[in-house]
Structure 1
């Protein structure tokens, strides 16, 4: 199978996988939002940073090294497997005994048991991380879809059953934990690789030298991404954090779905052609343009119909989350572009530069948060938009030094798409204002159809639009 065909197959199956997994989870969370209150979501949001840190430490950046290694063998796989197991058990032990302190910090005693149970996730993930890395490296995304789909269906079913029967916040915890338990079991079942009693110090050092910089980068990124949760949960209320979390999750469904699909496929794909700089540059430019062409109108278009959409899907109780979602949409539309720029650094093995960038960007975020905190919760949310744009500029600058795609040219390409998107979103919002306020379904459906048609027509007329590039890529997918 040619790399182009393999890539299209990867995009297709990863999209199906991500759409099903995130779609089912998203629908489950919508239903749970109707049964649970904002406070329950706020409690989960409070411990999100600790779960995210633990998950990052468990992997140690080693599976990323496996994916980019040209000819990994049993020694590579087994070494990484045992390191992950030891790390996961160590991290779980630390989190287990830290639970009372975390609960005291947020003044929520109920968090003790939640943290101790939820953190079992680290050990579960460690047992299947290598199998997942092997499937990803070999671009066997169809197999990953076969694993994720039943896992999610079972997990979501358990979560909905518990939520409907009044288990509150535990329904969210067990939904995620049971999903990963089933996923781990299926990865072992589908994978032909099994660990052997092998541990190579040389292999460990090789993967560690690449992985530890990614680990530090991921840790810094995780802490700062969740710093908003910590501040809102500590200084405002669990309910306010619940509104923020729901808005963030609502926006992350489309943005993270696309980012996850393209990033998962593009990293191994670009790694395979890392020695062909011209081909790498061409592929990268197409990825940037086409992905932003899709995600920008998706995020800003949804923001335009956010009020009737939230009322229709979540209900009146969640209306305060609308403004959070609309602001966050501006930051979330940049997610794929961030991911692709950082993938270039990983493809070229520049994990040192990756770490340097994280330190620079997080310094900016720190200053931004300190200034924005004085303006309340909305100030904090707006600061995330500012730092997202600033971080993108930094990512572009350093990735452009590795490939022939200057920052100015990138901004010009994205700017044309952004202007078209803004015009479309404004037209959609105007239509929702003109339509009857009580007709929520009519506002959402008509504005969405109108926006999609307007966006496609504008880009069809513009011969330099990524629309034509996307069509061309599709037509030549089998070549």
Structure 2
């Protein structure tokens, strides 16, 4: 009985897709471990603080590349509409990414006028060029995910991880400082284009078109704002910690997130990425839709929660051994960061559920409220230290997860009424 149940749990398209992504993520993490250890030992907390600022700025800008919102529309669209939506999405991405390139270049150029530190000017200017690569592979990657061909996605991730880690480790050992994380961003962009074009036959339209752009942006607009709010919650604490506690303390805080949430978040992403196309595939069948959603969530919880608890409990042992004793003060923060990923499983899945039933406005309202509360809470507690900032992160994820039962009831009620 136990063996039969285990076989059932590990079977099916969703788990196969998760298997490909998990295999890629395991390989990814093993490959990146060497470069992560090298950075932890070669970088000072000051360097980690600068790295946090660069990644934070890039993370905000990448929201507007339309991968999330327009990509979700491509996955959710009916088959007869896919070609039109892809063609329009391609040109929308060029308009958006070209604007992002110009804006970030201006930010990099004007930064010295507002700060005496010019360390970030050239790196930000260099990273801006990566936005010009997005339109050339984002649509291909989304179509691959729509078709549940996550073997191709996994291949992309592994190849990028290998190349990026080699470049990072090499440049860090050569003493190139913050440029050890900049050059991988630039040099791996063409690899995304080559691999995604190989795995999907779709080709960009030669004729400029924005057909049905209102419909596309109407669907993706709420998702884009929602994604932006999510990025604010994920990154605003870095900016507040850096401003009030200094770059060195920010380095400790960012290390805790990078070593803690970086691992568990990547595993969570492995499960959440295949979930949306998996449930959208049967959105017109209430019974299958419900079974796929809750079945996938049970399997995800059974696998992910023990991993998160294990990492959190072992962090006092592996952090000083692997990364060095200078990072011991970051361990309490790392534990809270790990634990915050448990409620995120359910809130993230519920948002995908709302997207699948075309109710993105609800997730936007919830996110708007909690983002405001999150920012106010961090500002009030930041002077007490980074442990309390991490506690706010954990509490905010628990609060968001409290809405999950209501969201599930609402979304499945909508699907049932459409039968």
Query: Structure 2 length normalisation: TM-score?
Result: 0.90
1:6 aligned onto 2:13:
yes
1:383 aligned onto 2:389:
no
Q: Give the deviation of 1:102 after TM superposition.
A: 4.6
Q: 1:180 to 1:25 in 2, by over 3 A?
A: farther
> Do 1:255 and 1:336's aligned partners in 2 also have CA atoms closer than 8 Å?
no
> Do 1:156 and 1:179's aligned partners in 2 also have CA atoms closer than 8 Å?
no
Which residue number corresponds to residue 62 of structure 1?
Answer: 70
Q: Give the deviation of 1:73 after TM superposition.
A: 3.8
1:169 aligned onto 2:178:
yes
Q: Give the deviation of 1:279 after TM superposition.
A: 2.3
What whole-Å deviation, never above 9, does each CA across 1:25-65 have from its counterpart, x for those lacking one? 34321222112222212101013222112111111621111
Q: Give the deviation of 1:112 after TM superposition.
A: 0.7
> Do 1:131 and 1:193's aligned partners in 2 also have CA atoms closer than 8 Å?
yes
1:47 to 45, 48, 54: 54
Distance (whole Å) between structure 2 residues aligned to residue 103 and residue 377 of structure 1: 28
1:249 aligned onto 2:258:
yes
1:196 aligned onto 2:205:
yes
2:285 to 276, 289, 296: 276
* Bigger Rg over Cα: 1
Q: Give the deviation of 1:322 after TM superposition.
A: 1.0
Q: 1:180 to 1:337 in 2, by over 3 A?
A: farther
Q: Give the deviation of 1:392 after TM superposition.
A: 1.2
Which residue number corresponds to residue 140 of structure 2?
Answer: 131
Q: Give the deviation of 1:95 after TM superposition.
A: 1.2
Q: Give the deviation of 1:231 after TM superposition.
A: 0.8
Q: Give the deviation of 1:394 after TM superposition.
A: 2.5
Which residue number corresponds to residue 207 of structure 1?
Answer: 216
| Structure-to-structure mapping, 1:93-172, within 5 angstroms | 93-102=102-111, 108-172=117-181
Q: 1:333 to 1:67 in 2, by over 3 A?
A: same
**Which of 43-52 and 373-382 deviates more?**
373-382
> What is the DSSP-based 3-state SS (H/G/I as helix, E as strand, rest coil) of the residue aligned with 2:63?
helix
Distance (whole Å) between structure 2 residues aligned to residue 106 and residue 332 of structure 1: 35
Which residue number corresponds to residue 8 of structure 2?
Answer: none
Gaps of 5+ in 2: 1-10, 414-419
> Do 1:19 and 1:257's aligned partners in 2 also have CA atoms closer than 8 Å?
no
2:42 to 17, 22, 35: 35
**Which of 183-192 and 126-135 deviates more?**
183-192
Q: Which has the higher contact order (CA 8 A, sep 6+)?
A: 2
> Do 2:91 and 2:209's aligned partners in 1 also have CA atoms closer than 8 Å?
no
What whole-Å deviation, never above 9, does each CA across 1:255-311 have from its counterpart, x for those lacking one? 222221211111001001111222222222222233223222222222222122111
> Do 1:49 and 1:223's aligned partners in 2 also have CA atoms closer than 8 Å?
no
Gaps of 5+ in 1: 405-479
Q: Give the deviation of 1:105 after TM superposition.
A: 5.8
| Structure-to-structure mapping, 1:6-25, within 5 angstroms | 6-25=13-32
1:305 aligned onto 2:305:
no
**Which of 385-394 and 17-26 deviates more?**
17-26
> Do 1:10 and 1:139's aligned partners in 2 also have CA atoms closer than 8 Å?
yes
> What is the DSSP-based 3-state SS (H/G/I as helix, E as strand, rest coil) of the residue aligned with 2:216?
helix
| Structure-to-structure mapping, 1:199-348, within 5 angstroms | 199-348=208-357
> Do 2:354 and 2:363's aligned partners in 1 also have CA atoms closer than 8 Å?
yes
> What is the DSSP-based 3-state SS (H/G/I as helix, E as strand, rest coil) of the residue aligned with 1:192?
coil
CA RMSD of aligned residues (A): 2.0
Distance (whole Å) between structure 1 residues aligned to residue 246 and residue 255 of structure 2: 14
> Do 1:10 and 1:140's aligned partners in 2 also have CA atoms closer than 8 Å?
yes
Q: 1:286 to 1:243 in 2, by over 3 A?
A: same
> Do 1:274 and 1:347's aligned partners in 2 also have CA atoms closer than 8 Å?
yes
Q: Give the deviation of 1:24 after TM superposition.
A: 2.1
> Do 1:131 and 1:191's aligned partners in 2 also have CA atoms closer than 8 Å?
yes
Q: Give the deviation of 1:193 after TM superposition.
A: 1.1
Which residue number corresponds to residue 414 of structure 1?
Answer: none
Query: Structure 1 length normalisation: TM-score?
Result: 0.79
Q: Give the deviation of 1:199 after TM superposition.
A: 4.3
Distance (whole Å) between structure 2 residues aligned to residue 193 and residue 182 of structure 1: 17
Q: Give the deviation of 1:104 after TM superposition.
A: 6.2
> Do 2:370 and 2:400's aligned partners in 1 also have CA atoms closer than 8 Å?
yes
Distance (whole Å) between structure 1 residues aligned to residue 48 and residue 147 of structure 2: 37
> What is the DSSP-based 3-state SS (H/G/I as helix, E as strand, rest coil) of the residue aligned with 1:401?
helix
Distance (whole Å) between structure 2 residues aligned to residue 391 and residue 101 of structure 1: 37
Distance (whole Å) between structure 2 residues aligned to residue 377 and residue 11 of structure 1: 34
Which residue number corresponds to residue 6 of structure 2?
Answer: none
2:371 to 344, 357, 362: 362
Q: 1:396 to 1:53 in 2, by over 3 A?
A: farther
Distance (whole Å) between structure 2 residues aligned to residue 83 and residue 173 of structure 1: 26
Q: Give the deviation of 1:74 after TM superposition.
A: 3.1
Which residue number corresponds to residue 423 of structure 1?
Answer: none
> Do 2:92 and 2:210's aligned partners in 1 also have CA atoms closer than 8 Å?
no
